[in-house]
Amino acid sequence: MHFIALKMLTGDRAKYLGLIFSIAFATFLIAQQSSIFCGLMNRTASQITDVVDADLWIMDGRTEYFDEIRALSDEAVYRVRGVPGVEWAVRLYKGLTTARAEDGKFRAVILMGLDDATLVGVPHTMLVGKVEDLRLPDAAIIDKAGYQFFYPGEPLRAGRTMEMNDRRVVIVGVCDASPPFTTNPIMFARYSNALNYVGRQRNLLSFVLAKTRPGVSKGAVCAAIHRATNLRALTTDQFAWQTIFYYIRNTGIPVNFGITIVVALIVGTVVAGQTFYIFTIENLKQFGALKAIGVTDGRLVGMILLQAAVVAAIGFAFGIALCAAFFDVTVNKTATRGFTLLWQIMAGTGGLIFGIVLLSSVLSLRKVLVLEPAIVFRG
């Protein structure tokens, strides 16, 4: 019976290929748009998760996300250090400034000012140079995408000079930092140098990074810091998710991607469902003939579900292969680096596609189950 079901499925090549195409198209759209959405949301918190040395982020109590900061007074770091359960705490500056290369090309860059003594928050993947070179005078590290913007087509190398706030900057290294949401170049410098590169204000401390003592609850330390300093303290994961949810709630990104995903679902459901339904109706005489020779309703249902599973599997395989090929081409490009096809999205898309096709097949089952074998003998 399985062989007969597959022969019936592939008998009409146009409808068979139409089913596979519609399912593959829906699979590609759902997986690709979902992956890009997740990649964008990961970018909003990429600079948070890149800091792996610290457990806690301490900030002004009304800070909602990473890119909107109210500066703290310099004494905040000392107050945090005095909280029980805190092993150490250091300064971190994060802000925007303008960098200019020797040829006059300029761009706004994200400047990260790291604690002079510990360099907590340094990039851990260096392509050129060493992290320790940040201790040299006027030293800074730039990410690969930023280097390629200022020096397109040129090999990565240290020793180039730039200018920020009329001050000389020496590029001592190139790192592979996670891409930020705004796609601006990222530069790392010591805290004392970073303050000179942006110009002095009364307060410039963006965050305090802290490490909890071994065996101490991070949640308890966060609560203790809030009681002692009236500042907000969050773990790295908490701050990352708070930033992601801020963008989800307050931007049009989820709506735009959601519309595309819904359209893909509608296309997959309507086109595949209608085509599969018409396919079943047009084969009623064949199903009637099988009933007339004694094939049970249960066996007929199994045949239809087998046909549905086959077209769903083939369509999903083609669609997800196209999606994987898309990300394989774009993953190393500057604008789309970091966008990948997540296994969770592959699994979720597969479940949706199989659900769509099985729903379509269930809608056509009633016609088969109430079918009279006598239909075979009608004109």
* CB neighbour list of residue 101: distance below 8 Å, 6 or more residues apart: 150, 151, 160, 162
Q: How confident is the model at residue 320 (pLDDT cuts 50, 70, 90)?
A: very high
**What number is the average pLDDT over the span 36-54?**
89
**Which bin fits 313, alpha (ψ -120 to 50), beta or left (φ > 0)?**
alpha
Instruction: Kindly report the backbone phi and psi dihedral angles of residue 153, in degrees, each rounded to the nearest multiple of 5, phi listed first.
Output: 75, 0
Q: Would you state the pLDDT for residue 13?
A: 76
The whole-angstrom separation of Cα 69 and Cα 91 is 14
State the Cα–Cα distance between residues 175 and 186, nearest whole angstrom.
Answer: 9
**What gap in Å lies between CA 72 and CA 206, rounded to an integer?**
6
pLDDT of residue 268: 64
Mean pLDDT of 361-379: 63
Q: Average pLDDT, stretch 107-114? A: 93
Mean pLDDT score, 354-375 = 70
Q: What is the pLDDT of residue 86?
A: 94
Q: What pLDDT is recorded for position 222?
A: 94
Report the run of H or E that residue 174 belongs to, with start and end.
Answer: strand 167-175
Q: What's the confidence (pLDDT) of residue 128?
A: 94
Confidence grade of residue 16 (pLDDT, cut at 50, 70, 90): confident
**How much is the pLDDT for 255?**
83
Q: What is the pLDDT of residue 149?
A: 92
Asked if the model's pLDDT at residue 121 lies above 60, the reply is yes
Provide, rounded to the nearest whole percent, the portion of the chain with pLDDT above 90. 42
Asked if 92 contacts 118 with a C-beta cutoff of 8 angstroms, the reply is no
Question: Tens digit of pLDDT for each residue in 258-314?
Answer: 887 787 777 766 776 676 677 777 776 776 677 777 767 677 777 778 878 888 899
| Structure confidence by residue, pLDDT tens digits, 207-251 | 999 999 998 999 999 999 999 999 999 999 999 999 999 998 888
Q: What percent of the chain has pLDDT over 70?
A: 87
Handedness of CA 316, 318, 321, 327 (dihedral sign): negative
Distances (CA, A) of 230 to 62, 154, 219, 361: 11, 49, 15, 60
Domain positions in the chain: 2-44+252-377, 73-230
Could you report the per-residue pLDDT of 46-77, keeping only the tens digit for each? 989 999 899 999 999 888 888 888 888 888 99
Confidence of residue 373 (pLDDT cuts 50, 70, 90): low
Q: Which pLDDT band, with edges at 50, 70 and 90, does 163 fall under?
A: very high
Mean pLDDT, rounded, of the chain: 85
Q: What is the pLDDT of residue 370?
A: 63
Q: pLDDT class for 357, splitting at 50, 70, 90?
A: confident
Instruction: Determine how many CB atoms are found less than 10 A away from the CB of residue 352.
Output: 21
Closest CA to 188 of 277, 102, 94: 94
- Per-residue pLDDT at 34: 87
**Does residue 204 surpass a pLDDT of 80?**
no
